[in-house]
Chains A and B, each alone.
Chain A
């Protein structure tokens, strides 16, 4: 059974960079049939797509965040990562990583999520 696990600091100061990693267990990140994505959910609110990456390095980003987001992949560690720069309180959210099925692009496996708070 595939498992995804987010990791990273739970508290980030305003104007700094949020950095999270997602470790994939029980399967290979180097699959041509899948992308690997990041989604966030502010407390009490809905879901927002951040972006995704293929093991080849191909990326897609939400245009509203594109200037601040970088998603990368490390196939040797079976991990992918998210960096979000110049954070503000509006970036406080639970951040999820997920597997995206190529083609129909649905998210079939999710990490448990990690709360990141932006505060000084």
Chain B
């Protein structure tokens, strides 16, 4: 299995701040990396696919970068609705695996 490790596990920030979340794969996964946002009691929402492609209707303050084994989700200018848990997911192997999540808190 390809293991996905996110850091940090939790992150405190304020409205207007910029933050980065890192996701590391246990082996190279090319650009097969997706990012999701999950709010309490809700299903995950796709933000970024193929490492850096912004999903339709997702604000441009979200961006993704990286390839191989290290990937970064960046949020520039945090808004109140951005405080949530973020997950990365690799789709390089048919056994899709998720990171453990990063909780972004005020």
For the complex, what is the distance from the CA of A96 to the CA of B87, rounded to whole Å? 15
If the complex has contacts A46-B87, A46-B98, A49-B95, are A104 and B50 also in contact, measured as CB distance less than 8 A?
Answer: yes
Q: Is A74 an interface residue (CB 8 A)?
A: no
Q: Are A107 and B34 in contact (CB under 8 A)?
A: yes
Chain A residues whose C-beta falls within 8 Å of the C-beta of B94 in the assembled complex: 60
Size bracket, chain B contacts: 20 to 34
Q: Are A105 and B95 in contact (CB under 8 A)?
A: no
Chain A residues whose C-beta falls within 8 Å of the C-beta of B46 in the assembled complex: 106-108
Q: Is B44 an interface residue (CB 8 A)?
A: yes
Q: Are A104 and B87 in contact (CB under 8 A)?
A: no
Q: What number of A-B contacts does a CB cutoff of 8 Å give?
A: 52
Chain B residues whose C-beta falls within 8 Å of the C-beta of A101 in the assembled complex: 49
Q: In this complex, what residue of A is CB-closest to B36? A: A107
- Interface centre among B43, B50, B55, B94, by most chain A C-beta atoms within 10 angstroms, is B43
Q: Is B100 an interface residue (CB 8 A)?
A: yes
Query: Can you list, as one digit per residue, whether each of A99-119 has a CB less than 8 Å from chain B (1) or not (0)?
Result: 001001111101111000000
Q: In this complex, what residue of B is CB-closest to A47? A: B98
If the complex has contacts A46-B87, A110-B44, are A105 and B101 also in contact, measured as CB distance less than 8 A?
Answer: no
- Interface centre among A46, A98, A106, A108, by most chain B C-beta atoms within 10 angstroms, is A106
Q: Is A62 an interface residue (CB 8 A)?
A: yes
Q: Are B55 and A108 in contact (CB under 8 A)?
A: yes
Residue in contact with B49 in the complex, picked from A47, A49, A104, A111, CB distance below 8 Å = A104
Residues of A within 8 A of B (CB): 46-49, 60, 62-63, 96, 98, 101, 104-108, 110-113
Additional A-B contact list (7), CB under 8 Å, known A47-B87, A47-B98: A46-B99, A47-B101, A49-B95, A104-B34, A104-B49, A106-B91, A107-B46
